[in-house]
A = this chain, B = another copy of it.
Amino acid sequence: MLEARLEQAQLLKKVVEAIKDLVQDCNFDCNDSGIALQAMDNSHVALVSMTLKAEGFSPYRCDRNIVLGVNLTSLMKVLRAAQNEDILTLKAEDAPDSLNLVFESSSNDRISEYDLKLMDIDQEHLGIPETEYASTIAMPSAEFRRICNDLNAVSESVTIEASKEGVKFSCNGDIGNGSVTLRQHTDVEKPDTNIEIELTEPVSLTFSLKYLTNFCKASGLSTQVKICLSNEVPLLVEYNLSGSSFLRFYLAPKIGDEE
């Protein structure tokens, strides 16, 4: 059986909020190392990969592999019942037909309990190759969100160019064009505001802003975001959660005339 106690119910709430527009139904794969989720969006352009490590829970217990097939819209309805400081415990049997969620108020005078019906979801196995990226950009997640939202007002897609001078987000649209250029910036006093650019080779790729703005719903989960690029390879947008848990989004670049 699974029993996983999460001090911050809102962590799961934010994760589901960030991915429910991309994926309707998906499997949460639980084993002794934690809870993981991989799913493609309906149009098979984007891929979501989340891992919540066992260490992020206290306690965490999962004797054997359990697959929880969840409708994320229904899960979201339940998670909305979590108040800000609630502690969430997830429980499921070994061959579950429902997932049990218990919210305890920190003051302990309120307990809410929900059973969410599960479903069988065909698991298309998603091999996500480990990739050495040509460029990796770390920046404040709020800044990335701002850039995507701003450029989204001008165009449907953005070209991201990383070079040793910095990183440039640019787009062309009917009403005109726009670009934002960032250069490296480190402040030991405020590491959250750092912009770090690693580069082995210049890259220039174009992506759909609709997806990127969607990914940016996860900004609340982490002050920093990592953007990994290689030519002709899907972009990786990574939010690191506490204790080596993470939420990653992959997005195939647009090619040629699509741009």
Contacts and interface: CB of A to CB of B under 8 A. Distances in A.
B176 A74 contact: yes
Interface stretch (A23-31, A76-84, A128-136, A233-241): A76-84
Tell me which of A74, A117, A176, A182 has the highest count of chain B C-beta atoms within 10 A of its own C-beta.
A176
Contacts of A116: 175-176
Given A77-B153, A78-B153, A150-B80, A117 B176 contact: yes
A74 B177 CA distance: 11
Nearest to A108: B183
A110 B153 contact: no
Contacts of A83: 146
Interface residues of A, number: 37
Contacts of A146: 83
Contacts of A154: 77-78, 114
Contacts of A114: 154, 176-179
Interface in A145-190: 146, 150-151, 153-154, 174-185
Of A77, A114, A151, most buried by chain B (CB within 10 Å of CB) is A114
Nearest to A117: B176
A7 interface: no
- What is the count of identical protomers in the complex? 2
B113 A178 contact: yes
A112 interface: yes
A150 B113 CA distance: 11
A204 interface: no
Interface string A176-219: 11111111110000000001000000000000000000000000
Interface in A62-113: 71, 74, 77-78, 80-81, 83, 98, 107, 109-113
A41 interface: no
A3 interface: no
B111 A176 contact: no
Interface string A22-54: 000000000000000000000000000000000
A115 interface: yes
A195 B143 CA distance: 43
Return the 8 tightest CB-CB contacts between A and B, nearest first: A81-B150, A74-B175, A77-B153, A114-B178, A116-B176, A109-B185, A112-B180, A115-B176
